Amino acid sequence: MSKTKKKSSPKSDSNPDQSIGNGGEIHQTATDSAILKTNQGIPISDNQNSLKAGERGPVLLEDFILREKITHFDHERIPERIVHARGSAAHGYFEVYEPLSKITKADFLQRAGERTPVFARFSTVAGSKGSHDLARDVRGFAVKFYTQEGNFDLVGNNIPVFFIQDAIKFPDLIHAAKPEPDREFPQAATAHDTFWDFISLTPESFHMIMWVMSDRAIPRSLRMMEGFGIHTFRLVDAKGRSTFVKFHWRPKLGAQSVVWDEAVKLSGADADFHRRDLWETIDGGDTVEFELGLQTFSEEEANDFGFDVLDPTKLIPEEVVPLEMVGRLVLDRNPDNFFAETEQVAFCVANVVPGIDFSNDPLMQGRLFSYLDTQLKRLGGPNFHQIPINAPKCPFANLQRDGHMQMLVPKGRVNYEPNSLDPSGPREAPDRGFASFPAEEAGGKLRIRPESFADHYSQARLFFQSQTQPEQDHIVAALIFELSKVETPAIRERVVSHLLNIDGDLAARVSAGLGLEGVGAAAAAIQAADLEPSPALSMLKKAKPTLEGRTIGLLIGDGADAGLIAALRKAIQGAGAKAKIVSEKIGGVALSDGNALPVDFRIDGGPSCLFDAVAVVASDEGAARLAAIGAARDFVSDAYGHLKAIAATPNLTDLFAKAGLKEADLDDACVSLAKKADVDTFIAKASAGKFWQREPKVRPLP
């Protein structure tokens, strides 16, 4: 008996490898399966560029491809942010130094000494809310100014450039950087195939890659990192004159980072290290302070820079346009509730006040749409501005009504304008309201990347060649580490092919570390130029000796010299740092004078990676006990490996020996505490920061 062949069921209409025939049947076509289309099935001719009015003109609202792509991306996660999910925040104020009326009519910048309330949020980018603080990642640096003319949100990062030139590529970038979708790992890391596959096919990203592979991506503290507005903005004065501007934040304590092994161990010792540091600093009565610096320049000056200021993968060296410090940001109050404030705060790049305006930067133009769209979904609807942390602190009124989560009770019969029934209702204010700068734009509607955006390597070379030797070594090591995690050989080779266009020595060292041979340089639209090095791009070249805001770990054994410990604590406090006591028992440690010293950390919970420098003080009996404790040996060996200043009483030679440190290993940053006068020597060595001369011995690199 023959069987009737069962008809297969139609494929889902969400499958891109199918089409609908004349009779309504669904069938697959090999040609269509390779064509990128919108969710409405419309073929996409250009997935690299937004639709603009002319090559360098503004992005057009009619770009339905951009809007669909960004909208879908914005709504991919509920309830946490897709990016910048893990954040920390604080309240404070911004104080302007001198009136800036010559360049802007922004009201909060008109009177010297005026203080504007702010809320600042710092974050990682790639990890989820539950990830750790010390991932190698970009850090968000967003500040909401509650001005008398409304909220101004300066939404930036701790790196002055970005991976991509056009917002239409942002979903692709983040999809590539996030955990791979079939396995949901690695978390909060870019050391995997999809990220580097995207990067290796996107040459414009390599300037940003130099920054992300540098120590900027593993800051010591949120209090010790720089911030940048990234884009070129406009300032507009009362006469309607425009000045281009770049925004910079500079930490009062100076920029400082950790080394990679230190970051790894910090992640294990305290996944909340940055979050805890910010909270405890403010909770302890200290403030966190940054200065706001402006780079201002005219359109004529911009045309002479040799790069396009609308390209967000480019920066303006400070040696070309110096920073003018115009005010300070002081954070002095922790949030009262993490969810209500830190989690619900909604930053929008489009939130500007009269006197601050946008440029045609195509990445910024996409952000102007994306942020508002994201908040509508993440915070439940159009009334998210009524959440207290988002609400303006100045009076405001409009005719918008109703909607999900409406908390206000608007009165009256009029909810439209113009009207004659409510003469006292809100009206437009031509003399005081926001008015866009009337820049002249001309050109056809184009999906095109301007030729002025084509130099992808010159500033990447500038950044690498402006670093000190230790900083260059760390970029090399980071690239080797990240690419060693990449499983696909062709991806590793493509990355190296781009590095060859940046710096031959850089590429050779990375190739050697990966065991690659015979890789040729990638085709370059424009060959990298040798630019004048910029010392301002190096953290170490700008670093000044200081212990202010730092933490010194004191590992104390029972019976330790009370006078020496008192001298250490006094000197540490005098240098503006804090001393934390580590010992065998959390209940306290007995000193030579019979008193018990309170302890902050039990030794296995207070590793030396938590501190900027360390000292070990013990009696002869206490020294013998410490030498027998594995965590004490790790305390010393890790401090040495992380290039920190170390002080110790002379009776601790056995501890150092068991930690693998011979007398010949003890360098100028290792201080013997034989007498109280040695304390000053230790403080001086600790104030100098990491002892980079030690690094080749502990971490030899290709």
CATH number at residue 192: 2.40.180.10
Same domain, 473 and 559: no
pLDDT score, position 686: 98
Residue written as tokens 């604590």?
Answer: 569
Same domain, 352 and 331: yes
As beta bridge partners, residue 293 has: 248, 325
Question: How far is the C-alpha of 259 from the C-alpha of 42, rounded, in Å?
Answer: 49
Question: How far is the C-alpha of 174 from the C-alpha of 83, rounded, in Å?
Answer: 8
pLDDT score, position 6: 38
Cis peptide before 186 (omega within 30 of 0): yes
Mean pLDDT of the region 196-204: 98
Same domain, 338 and 204: yes
State the catalytic residues.
Answer: 84, 157
- CA terminus-to-terminus distance, the chain: 74
At which of 353, 386, 419 does a domain end?
A: 386
Mean pLDDT of the region 103-132: 97
Which residue type sits at 47?
A: N
Which residues, 6 or more positions from 85, have their beta carbon under 8 angstroms from its beta carbon? 77, 123, 124, 127, 128, 129, 131
User: In this structure, is residue 142 part of a structural domain?
Assistant: yes
Q: Are 156 and 229 in contact (CB under 8 A)?
A: yes
CATH number of the domain at 533, please: 1.20.1370.20
> Please, is 272 exposed, middle or buried when counting C-beta atoms within 10 Å of its C-beta (0-12, 13-18, 19+)?
middle
Question: How far is the C-alpha of 603 from the C-alpha of 628, rounded, in Å?
Answer: 13
Same domain, 512 and 593: no
pLDDT value at 601 more than 50: yes
pLDDT score, position 35: 85
Same domain, 242 and 166: yes
Mean pLDDT of the region 452-479: 98
Question: How far is the C-alpha of 297 from the C-alpha of 316, rounded, in Å?
Answer: 10
Dihedral through CA 575, CA 580, CA 582, CA 588, nearest 10? Answer: 120
- In a 3-state reduction of DSSP, which class is residue 589? strand
Same domain, 301 and 358: yes
pLDDT value at 4 more than 90: no
Q: Which of 601, 626, 595 is nearest to 551 (CA)?
A: 601
Tokens of 115: 């203080």
pLDDT value at 15 more than 80: no
Same domain, 152 and 296: yes
Same domain, 533 and 675: no
Least confident piece of the model among 12-16, 619-623, 677-681: 12-16
Which residue type sits at 300?
A: E
Same domain, 463 and 576: no
pLDDT value at 511 more than 90: yes
Same domain, 257 and 161: yes
Which residues, 6 or more positions from 628, have their beta carbon under 8 angstroms from its beta carbon? none
Tokens of 451: 């030729």
Q: Are 642 and 259 in contact (CB under 8 A)?
A: yes
pLDDT score, position 22: 45
Dihedral through CA 384, CA 390, CA 391, CA 397, nearest 10? Answer: -50
CATH number of the domain at 596, please: 3.40.50.880
The pLDDT tens digits of the residues spanning 343-385 come to 999 999 999 999 999 999 999 999 999 999 999 989 999 999 9
pTM, rounded to two decimals: 0.92
pLDDT score, position 19: 43
Tokens of 224: 């010790």
pLDDT score, position 34: 81
Same domain, 537 and 549: no
What does the DSSP assignment read for 449-476?
--GGG---SHHHHHHHHTS-HHHHHHHH
User: In this structure, is residue 648 part of a structural domain?
Assistant: yes
Question: How far is the C-alpha of 683 from the C-alpha of 232, rounded, in Å?
Answer: 42
Which residues, 6 or more positions from 260, have their beta carbon under 8 angstroms from its beta carbon? 136, 218, 474, 477, 478, 481
Mean pLDDT of the region 565-575: 98
pLDDT score, position 75: 83
Number of domains in the chain: 3
Question: How far is the C-alpha of 351 from the C-alpha of 536, rounded, in Å?
Answer: 30
User: In this structure, is residue 414 part of a structural domain?
Assistant: no
User: In this structure, is residue 304 part of a structural domain?
Assistant: yes
User: In this structure, is residue 611 part of a structural domain?
Assistant: yes
Query: What single-letter DSSP state applies at residue 633?
Result: H
Question: How far is the C-alpha of 283 from the C-alpha of 290, rounded, in Å?
Answer: 18
Q: Are 248 and 141 in contact (CB under 8 A)?
A: no
pLDDT value at 264 more than 80: yes
At which of 509, 541, 573 does a domain end?
A: 541
- pLDDT category of residue 576 using cuts at 50, 70 and 90: very high
Buried b (16+ CB within 10 A) or exposed e, 180-201: eeeeeebebbbebebbbbbbbe
What is the percent of the chain where pLDDT is above 70? Answer: 95
At which of 504, 524, 541 does a domain end?
A: 541
pLDDT value at 441 more than 80: yes
Least confident piece of the model among 41-55, 81-95, 185-199, 503-517: 41-55
Tokens of 649: 């009483």
Cis peptide before 219 (omega within 30 of 0): no
- pLDDT category of residue 162 using cuts at 50, 70 and 90: very high
The domain in which residue 468 lies consists of: 458-541
Mean pLDDT of the region 550-575: 97
Same domain, 487 and 588: no
Q: How far, CA to CA in Å, does 609 sit from each of 191, 221, 475, 500?
A: 23, 13, 21, 35
Mean pLDDT of the region 528-542: 97
Give CA 692 to chain center in angstroms.
25
Question: How far is the C-alpha of 286 from the C-alpha of 354, rounded, in Å?
Answer: 34
User: In this structure, is residue 577 part of a structural domain?
Assistant: yes
pLDDT score, position 318: 98
User: In this structure, is residue 445 part of a structural domain?
Assistant: no
pLDDT value at 187 more than 90: yes
As beta bridge partners, residue 37 has: 43
What is the enclosing helix (H) or strand (E) of 272?
none
Which residues, 6 or more positions from 385, have their beta carbon under 8 angstroms from its beta carbon? 346, 391, 392
Give CA 484 to chain center in angstroms.
24
User: In this structure, is residue 143 part of a structural domain?
Assistant: yes
